[in-house]
Amino acid sequence: MDVENGMQFLSHDAMGKTGNDVIFSWFARYQNAAAAGADAVNGTVGALLEDEGTLAINTVVDAALREAPPVEFAAYAPLRGLPSFLDLAQTLALGETRSPLLELGVCATATATPGGSGALYLAAKNFVNEGESVLLRDRHWGPYAGFLAGCGLETSTYPLLPETEDEAHPHFDAKAFSVALEKLASQQKNVMTWLNDPAHNPTGLSLPAESRYELLNLFMESAAKNEHVGHTLLLDAAYHLYADEPHGWAETIHEALERGLPWPENLLITFAVSLSKSHTIYGLRTGALVSLHPDEAVLERLDDVMGVTGRQTWSAAPRIAQFVLSGLHSTAEGGQAWSHECERLTHLLTERREAFISACQRLDVPVNPSHDGFFAWYECDNPTEVAEACADQHVYLVPLKGGIRIGLCAIPLAKIEQVAQALSRVSQE
C-alpha cells in the first residue's frame, strides 16, 4: 500500500508534520546504553535531576499539592485563569519591581496558559499576521519554529553573539539586531521578537543590564519610528527564577522609564511565564502570558482576545496548580519555604556549571559563555558528528543547529568532568 495515498484524509498542513523530536531520540539512546550496563552520562533532558538521577522536586510544592481539596483537582478554572493566580503570575514575572512600574503608569494583565508553551502560542496566534516573520536569535529552542510554523509564520534571525568583538556588549549583537528589526518593520504590519532571557535555552547565556537596556531602547526607537507597525517584545521567562537576576528585565524597563524614555502606544511587552521548572511541576502544564502597556483599555481588549483564543484552543488551563501555588505564595511562610527549596535546586545548577566551565578551561574546550539556568553550549559546524563522537564515549548530548546542547540540569556533579573530557577529545581530533 502507498502510504501517501493511504493518508489522503490528512490536510496539506498535516502532511508536512514528520520526524521525531531530536531531544527525546537522544534521551532514548542514553536510556538504551544505561540499560545495557554502560557507564553512560545523560546530558539530554531539559528537566532538573538530582545527582542520583531522580527528578528534582520542590518538596514544598509537592506537599501543598497533596493537601489540596479534591474539587480543586476536578473543577474547571475560569477561562482566563483564577484571579489569584493571575496576580501571582504578574509577581513572578516582575518581582519587587511590580509596584514601582505601576507607580510609573505601567499597567499589567495576565492570562493563564497550559505551560509556557501555551503562552508562546497565544503570542504567535495574536501578535503577528499570517505569513509574517518573528525575530529570533539564531540559536534558540527548537520548538519555537514549530509553534510559529503552526500559526503560519516565518522566522528571521540575528546572531546570538557579536560576530566581531564588542567590548560594550560582548553578549549582544546590537547592530545585527537593529538591522534585522528595521527590515521587518519596513515590510510587515506587526513585528514581534522572542527573547529567551535570562538563562537562555540552549546556551545558558544571560544578558547583562547594559545589553538589556540597549535592546529595549532599540525596540522602543523602532516602535516610535514606525508608529503604524505594532511592536511586541516577548520575554520567554521559562528559566528566569534560576538566574542571578531573575527580574532583571522588569528592572531594565523601570530604569528606561525613569530615564524618560517614552513608551510608544504601539509597543507591547509580554512575559511568557512557566511554572514547570521553577516549581518542578512539568506535567501539570501551568503558565501565563503577562502583558505590560501604559493604557489599561488596551490590556482590557487584550484580555478578551486571549480569553477567546484559549477557549477556542484548550478551553481553560488546568486549575489545580493555579489554586495551590497562588495559595502557597500568598503567605510569607509559604513563599519563603518555596524560595528556600528553589535556592537548593539553583545551587545544584550553579555547582555543575562552575565545575563544567572550570574543566573546559583546563582542557581547552571552547564552550560558549554560559551564566544561568539548565544548559551550556558547544558551538560547532558538525553537531551530529560531535554528538556521535561523544556518544561513542557514552556521553549523550543533544545536537542542534550550530552546536551541541549540554544539559547541565541532568548531569550529576561527579560526571561533569567526563563530559568535558569527551568534548576535549572531539575538539582535538
Does the residue 92 lie in any domain?
A: yes
Residue 15 has pLDDT above 90, yes or no: no
**Spatial distance between the Cα atoms of 228 and 219, rounded to a whole number of angstroms:** 14
Say how many domains are in the chain.
2
Q: Going by C-beta distance under 8 Å and a sequence separation of 6 or more, which residues neighbour residue 403? A: 139, 202, 368, 377, 378, 379, 380, 383
Determine the structural domain holding residue 239 and report its residue range. 77-318
Residue 2 has pLDDT above 70, yes or no: no
Give the CATH number for residue 202. Answer: 3.40.640.10
**Spatial distance between the Cα atoms of 284 and 290, rounded to a whole number of angstroms:** 19
Does the residue 9 lie in any domain?
A: yes
Does the residue 66 lie in any domain?
A: no
Q: Going by C-beta distance under 8 Å and a sequence separation of 6 or more, which residues neighbour residue 258? A: 104
Tens digit of each residue's pLDDT (9 = 90 or more) over 17-29: 766 688 889 999 9
Does the residue 251 lie in any domain?
A: yes
Does the residue 36 lie in any domain?
A: yes
Residues 379 and 314 in one domain: no
Residue 164 has pLDDT above 90, yes or no: no
Grid cell digits, residue 169: 556588549
Residue 3 has pLDDT above 80, yes or no: no
Adjacent-strand bridge partners of 190: 230
Residues 52 and 134 in one domain: no
Average pLDDT over the chain, rounded to an integer: 95
Does the residue 323 lie in any domain?
A: no
Q: Going by C-beta distance under 8 Å and a sequence separation of 6 or more, which residues neighbour residue 187? A: none
Residues 407 and 376 in one domain: yes
Which of 255, 290, 318 terminates a domain? The answer is 318
**Spatial distance between the Cα atoms of 160 and 196, rounded to a whole number of angstroms:** 11
φ, ψ (nearest 5 deg) of residue 405: -90, 125
Could you tell me the pTM of the whole model?
A: 0.95
Does the residue 223 lie in any domain?
A: yes
Residues 182 and 232 in one domain: yes
Residue 123 has pLDDT above 70, yes or no: yes
Residues 141 and 254 in one domain: yes
Grid cell digits, residue 72: 480543586
Tens digit of each residue's pLDDT (9 = 90 or more) over 356-412: 999 999 999 999 999 999 999 999 999 999 999 999 999 999 999 999 999 999 999
**Spatial distance between the Cα atoms of 176 and 197, rounded to a whole number of angstroms:** 18
pLDDT at 163: 86
Tens digit of each residue's pLDDT (9 = 90 or more) over 260-308: 999 999 999 999 999 999 999 999 999 999 999 999 999 999 999 999 9
Residues 158 and 223 in one domain: yes
Query: Rg for the chain (alpha carbons), in Å?
Result: 22
Residues 123 and 264 in one domain: yes
Distance between alpha carbon 150 and the CA centroid of its chain, in Å?
18
Reported as a pLDDT band with limits 50, 70 and 90, residue 13 is confident
Residue 328 has pLDDT above 90, yes or no: yes
Residues 103 and 34 in one domain: no
CB contact at 8 A, 127 and 305? no
pLDDT at 350: 98
